[in-house]
Amino acid sequence: MKKTLLMVGLVCLLHTSAHAWRAYNDLRWAPDDDGTNNITLYSWTNNVTKGPAYETSGSLVNYETGEDLSATLTVSSTDTGDYDYTNQGANAVANTDADAVFGAAVGSKGNLSNGDITLTFAGLDTNLTYTIAVYGNRDAQTYAGVRYGKFTISNVTSFVNLSSSGTLTTTNVLDNDTTEYCTGYNTSNGYVARFSQIDPGSDGEIIITVQEGAQTSSGQGKYANAVMIETEEETGLILEISQLLWVVFCLLGVARLRPLFAARTPDLRKWYRKVSRWRYDTRDST
């Protein structure tokens, strides 16, 4: 019995490791944003005098534990202006995708803007797959239906586009590699560009670019407030071991039930034999 319980405990332990870590990065932290516990603040500036100096790259942090990860994020932009965007943007309203993904973790008061934005994730485990979500919102109602941003994934082996319902999915290089939505005012919709089941390939890198959307009519829309990345599954070794242990556990259960079945249900066994003989007799007579 003790061996059986030990087996159950080991199997349960292995199966709970499916979600290894999740990390958030605030792409332009603002003084009145939510707290910064267990998130990173990597951003990009071009000699900004109106805001703080931001680090552009570094290790990501496990949101649940606060531990540094081997995975890194590098933020770059083609923006050549000297601007402060900490007064642009807002959290999405409740019951939206953006609120579900970022609401409790990251404040979205500020954003990156103007230039094309590149988010490079590196140092990823090539045995895992990942989900990445990006939220962009200028929070200006005058830009609703006017300014759009497009979010494109690249440098990956495979992925599935699971962006918010209501966004536009298009193809740049890989099938369905681009998501476009209105970033001028995204507070009410709370859309996110989300790519799941991402295989980063042998180099362990994923690249997300943010550019002006095709539907933009005012020459802008490249807004990005926050990004989230998380692992999706166990390593192949853990999966194989856990599956094998489940088989062993089931066999142990059958072995323990068999004596009980044989000792306490003789009538049932006799009934089964009779039904079996009747079934074969019936088949032969037809």
Beta-ladder partners of 208 = 119, 153
- Each residue's pLDDT tens digit, 211-225: 999 998 777 889 999
pLDDT of residue 267: 58
Q: Give the pair of three-digit tokens for residue 258.
A: 């068999």
Q: Give the pair of three-digit tokens for residue 151.
A: 């979010």
- Helix or strand or coil: residue 182? strand
How far CA 282 is from CA of 274, 275, 277, in Å, comes to 12, 10, 9
CA distance 180 to 149: 6
- Long-range contacts (CB closer than 8 Å, 24 or more residues apart) made by 198-201: 198/129, 198/130, 198/131, 198/132, 198/153, 198/156, 198/158, 198/159, 199/129, 199/156, 199/157, 199/158, 199/159, 200/121, 200/124, 200/126, 200/130, 200/155, 200/156, 200/157, 201/126, 201/155, 201/156, 201/157
Beta-ladder partners of 139 = none
- Each residue's pLDDT tens digit, 83-130: 667 788 999 999 999 999 999 899 998 888 888 999 999 999 999 999
pLDDT of residue 60: 98
Percent of the chain surpassing pLDDT 90: 57
Q: Tell me if 111 sits within 8 A of 135, measured CB to CB.
A: no
Higher pLDDT, 140 or 242: 140
**Which one-letter DSSP state was computed for residue 222?**
-
- Each residue's pLDDT tens digit, 165-215: 999 999 999 999 999 999 999 999 999 999 999 999 999 999 999 999 999
pLDDT of 259 > 70? The answer is no
Handedness of CA 170, 150, 226, 198 (dihedral sign): positive
pLDDT of residue 15: 43
> Across residues 51-67, what is the average pLDDT?
88
Confidence bin at 243 (pLDDT 50/70/90): low
CA distance 202 to 182: 34
